[in-house]
Amino acid sequence: MTVIQTEHLSPQAATWLAERADLVVGDAESAAFAAAAPRAAALVVRTYTQVNDALLARLPALRAVGRAGVGLDNIDLDACARRGVRVFNTPDANTQAVVEYVTCLVCDALRPRLFLDAPVSKARWNEIREEVVAHRQMNELRMGILGFGRVGRRVADVARAIGFDVVFHDVLNIPESERRGARSVSAAELFATSDVVTVHIDGRASNRGFVNAALINAMKPDALFINTSRGFVVDHVALAGHLRACPGAQAILDVHEPEPIDAAHPLLGIPNAHLAPHLASRTDAAMDAMSWVVRDVWDAIAP
């Protein structure tokens, strides 16, 4: 059985699969992909390979697609279903990594820190202690969580443990027993009343531009906005306008549309906008857990 791997897998998972299948490594534009495509029974991708009609047409023997990750934004599920291609992913593999990352971003933004690498005078010591002061303590603030799935709920656990008042908004009616002590509110109330807004909605088409100008402009002038979900859910032009109008606000974005960001990105050059290169799930443990989607893929095609 031939399996094509287009993006990175952990060495252990790749080795495991290579022991069972003819594993061909190469992106969709490579000669290796082109040579293996006619006989490939399975395809393993991560984030940037677009599994659509055009790609599937090059893979006539395909029976399974594995996405080493959580969302399926880059997989055309309808196109796969029409061809009888089974699709697998790893829904809970990176939850811990993303929750840790969001917690770190909140701390970076709200609790400034400074480290010394040389002796300083007593006067400078006292100056530093006057300068490096957190003006807001977390147990005085509200965190609004947009999207209350696996990651959103774990973020709520951490935020409440720190002391935040936590509210959330989700398109589903979350049972009281699963709300983690957080309160359900409308999206409008969440954006208008939260000191920290963190976005964890999924990649369904209806979420494109969900965080629109009306919601963004309703935010407090000193609110912290974090997006680690998908770049396309946020109106970046509206966010840029808000940040320029409210220099006390901050935005930290880990995901973008497009990726990598280009010179036309509206948030580039705005001092209170901080753009990270899609790092939330980048821990060894999470990447390894995501890579083991290969087990499901192999089970689907094994002779």
Q: Give the residue from 192, 187, 157, 191 showing the smallest Cα distance to 170.
A: 187
**Mean pLDDT to the nearest integer, 245-261:** 97
- Give the whole-angstrom CA distance, residue 213 versus residue 199: 15
Question: Whose structure tokens read 């279903």?
Answer: 81
| pLDDT reading at 273 higher than 90 | yes
Q: Give the residue from 255, 288, 298 showing the smallest Cα distance to 274.
A: 255
Provide Rg for the chain, Cα atoms. Answer: 22
- pLDDT at residue number 303: 87
- pLDDT at residue number 111: 95
**Mean pLDDT to the nearest integer, 29-42:** 98
Distances (CA, A) of 250 to 33, 192, 244: 43, 15, 10
9 class by beta-carbon count within 10 Å (0-12 exposed, 13-18 middle, 19+ buried): buried
| pLDDT reading at 194 higher than 90 | yes
Torsion of CA 221, 260, 46, 32, to 10 degrees: 180
- pLDDT at residue number 58: 98
Mean pLDDT of the chain: 97
Residue 102 and residue 276 in contact, taking contact as beta carbons nearer than 8 Å: no
- Give the whole-angstrom CA distance, residue 246 versus residue 52: 41
Residue 278 identity: H
Whole-prediction pTM: 0.92
Nearest-10 crossing angle of helices 284-291, 11-18: 20
Number of C-beta neighbours around residue 279 at 10 A: 13
User: For residue range 130-183, what is the model confidence (pLDDT) as tens digits?
Assistant: 999 999 999 999 999 999 999 999 999 999 999 999 999 999 999 999 999 999
**Mean pLDDT to the nearest integer, 33-39:** 98
- pLDDT at residue number 113: 94
Angle, vertex CA 181, rays to CA 106 and CA 186, nearest 5: 75
- pLDDT at residue number 156: 98
**Mean pLDDT to the nearest integer, 26-30:** 97
HSE, side-chain direction, 13 A CA sphere, residue 21:
28
Grade residue 219 by pLDDT with cuts at 50, 70 and 90: very high
**Mean pLDDT to the nearest integer, 218-236:** 98
- pLDDT at residue number 140: 98
Helix, strand, coil share of the chain (percent; to 5): 40, 15, 45
| pLDDT reading at 184 higher than 90 | yes
**Mean pLDDT to the nearest integer, 259-263:** 95
Sorted by where each starts, the structural domains of the chain and their CATH numbers stand as 2-93+285-301 (3.40.50.720), 95-275 (3.40.50.720)
241 class by beta-carbon count within 10 Å (0-12 exposed, 13-18 middle, 19+ buried): middle
